[in-house]
């Protein structure tokens, strides 16, 4: 009898990179590469484009991408994805939300998402770990303060009931959280390298200038963020040994 295949990771694609960065591929490619996953270990579902989410049984873990959409728009595909994520998290399926995915997961689990009162965040930002991170499978042992790539207008304003807030940043009191034993959201982009981040800054230069920010300075201050990427890779390792694997 042949051995059954290893469970695969599902990337829930909630949006596309800015047009100028699509020559580097889409978010599933960026995430798969940053996570150290092989092509044969990953399926991607374009929920923004109308593709249906599969049954959760048999998944090693779920990673939710960023998006140019806003969670507060309550688009049909977004609300349907939130319901699916809520059920997956309650079932103990390992889930990792990135930026929009972080916000969508928080919304799905009863948190509050909205416009960040501090305005736009873009560039390499310092993330500060909170005391609870010391015992977290993804954040334990990391420096108390490390750089990460970020670009967002909305934030998690209130973490879901029962969630543990793990990190904050200058503009975000909830920059990372864990819900239960196997669901995480991070506002930063662990899949972004410096090329991706600078590309986003250049693409949003006019918007940054309108907001009173200096795109040239932000681009010049973009720096590598290896610890942020390490969080994503730790999620993959955690999911592979999770008892929730079906």
At 48, list the tokens: 């923004």
Complete edge-to-edge strand list for the sheet that includes strand 8-13: 42-46, 8-13, 59-64, 95-98, 183-186, 172-179, 164-169, 121-129, 145-152
Active-site residue identified among 13, 191, 196, 238 = 191
DSSP three-state, residue 42: strand
- Told to judge if 99 belongs to the known catalytic residues of this protein, a careful annotator would answer yes
Matching residue, tokens 């010391």: 134
Tokens 């909630």 identify what position?
A: 14
Q: What is the pLDDT of residue 245?
A: 47
Domain range 8-118+128-192+226-240, its CATH number among 3.30.930.10, 3.40.50.880, 3.10.20.30, 3.30.1330.60: 3.40.50.880
- Residue 120's contacts (CB-CB under 8 Å, 6 or more residues apart) are 152, 153, 207, 208, 211, 213
Name the strand (E) or helix (H) holding 114. strand 112-115
C-alpha to C-alpha distance for 201 and 231, rounded to whole angstroms: 23
**Locus of tokens 């207008």:** 153
Which of the residues 99, 174, 196, 238 is marked catalytic?
99
56 has a pLDDT exceeding 50: yes
189 carries an active-site annotation? yes
Rounded Cα distance, 186 and 100, in Å: 9
Give the model confidence (pLDDT) of 94-144 as tens digits.
Answer: 999 999 999 999 999 999 999 999 999 999 999 999 999 999 999 999 999
Tokens 């303060």 -> residue: 145
Confidence of residue 243 (pLDDT cuts 50, 70, 90): low
Whole-model pTM: value is 0.95
Tens of pLDDT, residue by residue over 74-108, are 999 999 999 999 999 999 999 999 999 999 999 99
């Amino acid at each position: 009898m042949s051995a059954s295949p290893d469970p695969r990771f599902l990337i829930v694609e909630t949006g596309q990179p800015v047009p100028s960065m699509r020559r580097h591929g889409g978010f599933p490619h960026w995430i798969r590469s940053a996570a150290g996953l092989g092509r044969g270990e990953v399926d991607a579902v374009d929920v923004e484009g109308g593709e249906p989410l599969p049954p959760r049984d048999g998944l090693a873990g779920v990673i939710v991408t960023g998006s140019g959409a806003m969670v507060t728009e309550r688009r049909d595909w977004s609300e349907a994805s939130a319901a699916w994520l809520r059920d997956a998290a309650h079932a103990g399926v390992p889930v990792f939300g990135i930026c929009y995915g972080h916000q969508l997961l928080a919304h799905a689990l009863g948190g509050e998402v909205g416009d960040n009162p501090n305005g736009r965040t873009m560039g390499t930002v310092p993330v500060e770990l909170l005391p609870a991170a010391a015992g977290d499978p993804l954040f334990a042992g990391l420096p108390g303060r490390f750089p990460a790539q970020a670009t967002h207008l909305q934030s998690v304003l209130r973490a879901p009931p029962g969630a543990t807030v793990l990190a904050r940043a200058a503009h975000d009191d909830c920059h990372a959280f864990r819900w239960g034993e196997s669901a995480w959201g991070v506002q930063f982009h662990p899949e972004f390298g410096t090329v991706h981040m600078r590309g986003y800054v250049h693409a949003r230069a006019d918007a940054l200038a309108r907001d009173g920010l200096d795109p040239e300075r932000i681009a010049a201050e973009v720096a590598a963020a290896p610890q942020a990427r390490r969080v994503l890779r730790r999620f993959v390792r955690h999911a592979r040994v999770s008892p929730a694997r079906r």
